[in-house]
């Protein structure tokens, strides 16, 4: 069977990783990488040609190729969104990658240019366009992930939550159920949202307590000393 031809936009780490997933675990054949002309410093990447986005229609027309925008969360996802919209204006359709290790009781509802790695998507949940969801996440039942979001690893979005467009969830962050996560929200690594967020606002977890380590001590973590008057 002839594999469908795909262009991967991005020659950074994200482009490399996403291309590997398409190559090893999808019906798509990666034909070339794409980048803006000003960022191309070598003609080949991972053994494939690198084609300027500005001239892409002439060499790899949208009638013959689909595209995936493999950029990360730079400028709160605005960079990926801009390239996605520019490629759509050129007439390209978009591939999506849904890992065979992603788990769901029912077919996963998702838009285009979606990358969903090993994660759990519960019944009734849906994923918008141009969304990247990395590994070991839980998208709770009846939740909605809006367009242009990036969800890193170990994230829990609890049930019946609506995530607005262009949000970012850092590693091991989470939110409780029945929330509205406003567009442009950044939930930092390890942070927990317990109430609706405000638009274009960052939520950062407190810094961890720092304790000095004495490896040869019986209690190798040096803890704050107890007040001698305290009976506890």
Domains of the chain, by residue range, sit at: 4-89, 96-203
Q: Is pLDDT at 230 greater than 60 in this prediction?
A: no
202 phi/psi in degrees, rounded to 5? -100, 140
Angstrom distance (rounded) from CA 157 to CA 160: 9
Q: Which CATH number is 4-89's, of 3.30.70.100, 2.20.70.10, 3.40.50.20, 3.40.50.720?
A: 3.40.50.20
Average confidence (pLDDT) over 4-15: 97
Strands 186-187 and 120-121: unpaired
Q: What is the pLDDT of residue 222?
A: 61
Q: What is the pLDDT of residue 89?
A: 98
Whole-prediction pTM: 0.91
Q: What is the pLDDT of residue 224?
A: 57
Average confidence (pLDDT) over 70-83: 97
Cβ within 8 Å of residue 2, ≥6 positions away: none
Q: Is pLDDT at 199 greater than 50 in this prediction?
A: yes
Cβ within 8 Å of residue 194, ≥6 positions away: 175, 176
Integer CA distances (angstroms), 174 to 73, 133, 188, in order: 18, 14, 9
Q: Is the dihedral of CA 78, 79, 84, 89 positive or negative?
A: positive
pLDDT tens digits for 99-147? 999 999 999 999 999 999 999 999 999 999 999 999 999 999 999 999 9
Written out in words, the top-level CATH class of the domain with range 96-203 is mainly beta
Report DSSP state, residue 205.
P
Q: What is the pLDDT of residue 232?
A: 43
Percent of the chain at pLDDT exceeding 90: 87
Q: SS3 of 29, please?
A: strand
Q: What is the pLDDT of residue 223?
A: 62
Domains 4-89 and 96-203 share a fold: no
Assign 207 a pLDDT band (cuts: 50, 70, 90). confident
Structure tokens at 204: 């950062």
């Amino acid at each position: 069977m002839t594999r469908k031809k795909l262009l991967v936009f991005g020659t950074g780490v994200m482009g490399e990783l996403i291309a590997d997933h398409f190559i090893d675990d999808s019906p798509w054949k990666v034909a070339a990488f794409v980048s803006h002309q000003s960022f191309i410093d070598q003609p080949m990447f991972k053994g494939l040609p690198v084609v300027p986005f500005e001239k892409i229609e002439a060499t790899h027309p949208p009638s013959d190729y689909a595209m995936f925008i493999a950029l990360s969360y730079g400028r709160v996802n605005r960079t990926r969104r801009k390239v996605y919209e520019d490629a759509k204006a050129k007439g390209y359709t978009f591939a999506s990658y849904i890992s065979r290790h992603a788990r769901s009781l029912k077919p996963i509802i998702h838009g285009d240019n979606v990358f969903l790695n090993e994660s759990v998507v519960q019944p009734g949940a849906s994923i918008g366009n141009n969304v990247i969801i990395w590994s070991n996440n839980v998208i709770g039942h009846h939740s909605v992930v809006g367009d242009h979001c990036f969800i890193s690893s170990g994230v829990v979005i609890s049930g019946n939550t609506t995530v607005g467009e262009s949000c970012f969830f850092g590693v091991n962050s989470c939110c409780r159920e029945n929330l509205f996560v406003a567009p442009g929200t950044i939930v930092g690594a390890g942070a927990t949202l317990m109430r609706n967020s405000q638009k274009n606002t960052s939520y950062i977890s407190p810094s961890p307590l720092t304790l000095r380590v004495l490896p040869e001590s019986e209690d190798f973590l040096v803890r704050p000393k107890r007040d001698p008057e305290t009976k506890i």
